[in-house]
Amino acid sequence: MNWGSLDNFLAMGGYAFYVWGSYLVTLGLVLAEIVLLALRKRSALARLRLHGTAAQGGR
Amino acid sequence: MTAALRCVIVRDLLLAARRSSDVLTVLLFFVIVVSLFPLGVGPEPALLRTIAPGVIWVAALLASMLALQRMFASDHADGTLEQMLLGATPLGITVAAKVFAHWVTSGLPLVLISPVLALQFDFPQELLGVLALSLALGTPVLSLIGAIGAALTLGLRGGGALLSLLVLPLYVPVLIIGAGASEAAASGLGGHAQLLLLGALLVFAWAFAPWATAVALRISVE
Amino acid sequence: MNWFKYSSPQTFFSLAGKLAAWFGVLAAIACGLGLYLGFFVAPTDAQQGEAYRIIFIHVPAAWMSMFLYLVMAFWAGLGLAFNTRLSGMMASAIAPTGALFTFLALWTGSLWGKPTWGTWWVWDARLTSELILLFLYFGFMALQAAIDDPRRADKAGAVLALVGVVNIPIIYFSVKWWNTLHQGASVSLTKAPTMAATMLTGMAVMACGFWFYSIAAALMRARCIMLERERASEWVVEYARGSA
């Protein structure tokens, strides 16, 4: 598929809003999921260091 | 076993009779919700005739869901539920009996009053039977599926709203087929296919839902 | 090889970490390849122009949304049947990723629908079923969030997931039937454009990419869940101190 120019590629035959709207949201949400997971891990580790072996299990 | 069934059903019906306001508020909710739709969409008869089965079915769904909370809540609160879990009767049987009693107090009244409400929407008189029959077959399925949700959310905060979120997606097939019966009848095709499907759903739910509810009850109470 | 040792959170934890990293890399490669195929190999469609390229996300996301629900229900059922802690954790770990793909399927479906069918939302059988699937995911997550005791949350979620799995074919069938009955004036909704082989390959590669990504995300989340739940265990505290 030869787009010819970067402009053509970005314009997506006039459907730029729909195509890029889909791809960018996908990328955004996937990155958000990864970031949120990293944050969750960090706060879990921080809590563990703070409280040591807390006898209460649970979340 | 039949003695146990009868015992639980009679007990639940008696309790419901003593708290008749519970039963009546659900019925009143049903009537009010149905009346809200014409106020929302306008009184044009042709439109109302088209949406009548759908509106009545959605209202029945919502009313049925309101009533679900009390299926196990009061028994759970006073300890009767734990006795049922420990008792000799299989929990599935007890649950089936409770669901039946629940349907008699919350589903059956809806079935009986639905023709009146349908007339408000100028729904053709000859089709009232199909509508009532679809509700008669469908509301027990709602009670059966709803029982699983009620058992899972027993004692949780977020109660009613959480229960709705869990149970409404599962209600969708019943809604589609149930409302579809009257719509098919109205368009001349006859609602037999849908009614038979509802019957099949009822049999299927009757066979499996009490058992799933029993499992859920054990999880929630222990 | 003794697989059963991995059923203990402690042994699984480090395995999950390594697997997550590998699958993350594989996901990036597969998605990169898939996107290349989708944008630079697959030709323009005769009817839909460039708008159809959304398909390289929409269809794989929809496939993943359904597949992940099945996997989630599988782990949940296993945990319910054998009372294994880790199975329940896996089910909980999968749910948010599954919900994400369901939402993406709906979002991209909507953006695909506007230029091709003229409207943002259509009560087409598959979009409607997908919407209900999103509600099923949310229900599962909401139920688990509302229960404090993790064991009860796992088991209750398992019952809900299994009831949901049984219902999904019923829901899909009834929605499909409803849709065909009411087709009436609505545009005949073509599926994809008749597939060139390159389009199909692009979709398949993207689907693999999404699958690898889901595995990586679920394993990472499972590790977080283990860190949160196994607070009382020594190995967890050791690990926390060790990774300061």
C5-24 pLDDT per residue, tens: 777 888 889 899 999 999 99
How far, in Å, are A49, B64, C227 from residue C238 at the CA level? 9, 52, 11
Closest residue of B to C142, CA-based?
B162
Touch between C and B (at least 3 CB pairs under 8 Å): yes
Domain boundaries, chain B: 2-221
Nearest Cβ partner for A22 among C42, C54, C228: C54
CA dihedral (B116, B118, B123, B127) positive or negative: negative
pLDDT winner (highest mean) among A7-11, C155-159, C232-236: C155-159
Q: What pLDDT does residue C64 have?
A: 95
Which domain, by its residues, includes C109? 13-180+195-233
Chain A nearest C-alpha distance from C166 (Å): 29
Asked if C240 and A45 come within 8 Å (Cβ–Cβ), the reply is yes
Closest residue of C to B200, CA-based?
C170
Asked if A13 and C232 come within 8 Å (Cβ–Cβ), the reply is no
Averaged pLDDT for residues C202-222: 96
Tell the residue number behind the tokens 């970005």, with chain if given.
Answer: A10
Average pLDDT of chain B is: 92
Asked if C217 and A34 come within 8 Å (Cβ–Cβ), the reply is yes
Averaged pLDDT for residues B93-112: 94
Touch between A and B (at least 3 CB pairs under 8 Å): no
- Eight-class DSSP state of C119: S
Task: Band the pLDDT of C94: cuts 50, 70, 90.
Answer: very high
Residue C197's CB is within 10 A of a number of other CB atoms, namely 8
Closest residue of B to C156, CA-based?
B152
Average pLDDT of chain C is: 88
Helix (H, G, I), strand (E, B) or coil at C49: strand
- Please give the structure tokens belonging to residue A2: 């030869």
CA dihedral (C165, C167, C173, C174) positive or negative: negative
Q: Which helix (H) or strand (E) holds C237?
A: helix C234-242
Phi, psi of C45 (to 5 degrees): -85, 145
Q: What pLDDT does residue C182 have?
A: 67
Domain membership flag for residue C242? no
Q: What pLDDT does residue C1 have?
A: 60
Q: b or e along B132-169 (b: 16 or more beta carbons within 10 Å of the residue's beta carbon)?
A: bbbbbbbbbbbbbbbbbbbbbbbebeeeeebbbbbbbb
Between C195 and C68, name the one with better pLDDT. Answer: C68
Whether residue C227 contacts residue A41, with contact meaning beta carbons closer than 8 Å, is answered with yes
- Residue window 17-56, chain A: list those with CB within 8 Å of chain C: 18-19, 21-23, 25-26, 29-30, 33-34, 37, 40-41, 44-45, 47-49, 51-56
- Please give the structure tokens belonging to residue C150: 């993790």
How far, in Å, are A57, B104, B120, B124, B191 from residue B46 at the CA level? 61, 33, 12, 11, 20
Residue B10's CB is within 10 A of a number of other CB atoms, namely 12
Q: What pLDDT does residue C106 have?
A: 94
- Residue window 134-153, chain C: list those with CB within 8 Å of chain B: 135-136, 138-139, 142-143, 146-147, 152
- pTM given for the model: 0.91
C142-199 pLDDT per residue, tens: 999 999 999 999 999 999 999 999 888 888 888 888 887 765 434 444 454 566 788 8
Asked if B212 and C159 come within 8 Å (Cβ–Cβ), the reply is yes
Nearest Cβ partner for A19 among C54, C107, C243: C54
Domain membership flag for residue C83? yes
Q: What pLDDT does residue B61 have?
A: 94
Assembly ipTM:
0.91
Domain membership flag for residue C190? no
Q: Provide the terminal-to-terminal Cα distance of chain A, rounded to the nearest Å.
A: 51
Asked if A29 and C103 come within 8 Å (Cβ–Cβ), the reply is yes
Q: Measure CA B171 to chain center.
A: 10
Cα–Cα–Cα angle for C56, C58, C62, nearest 5°?
Answer: 125
Partner residues linked to C45 by β-bridges: C49
Averaged pLDDT for residues B127-132: 94
Task: Band the pLDDT of C99: cuts 50, 70, 90.
Answer: very high
The domain tally of chain C equals 1
Whether residue C39 contacts residue C232, with contact meaning beta carbons closer than 8 Å, is answered with no
Please report how many Cα atoms fall inside a 13 Å half-sphere around the Cα of residue B125, on the Cβ side. Answer: 0
Q: Which residues of B touch C155 (CB under 8 A)?
A: 219
Between C124 and B76, name the one with better pLDDT. Answer: B76
Chain C nearest C-alpha distance from B180 (Å): 8
Helix (H, G, I), strand (E, B) or coil at C149: coil
Nearest Cβ partner for B152 among C156, C170, C178: C156
Q: Measured between alpha carbons, how far is C212 from B104 in angstroms, rounded to an integer? A: 51
Partner residues linked to C49 by β-bridges: C45
Give the closest residue to B29 by CA, choosing from B101, B109, B143, B93: B109
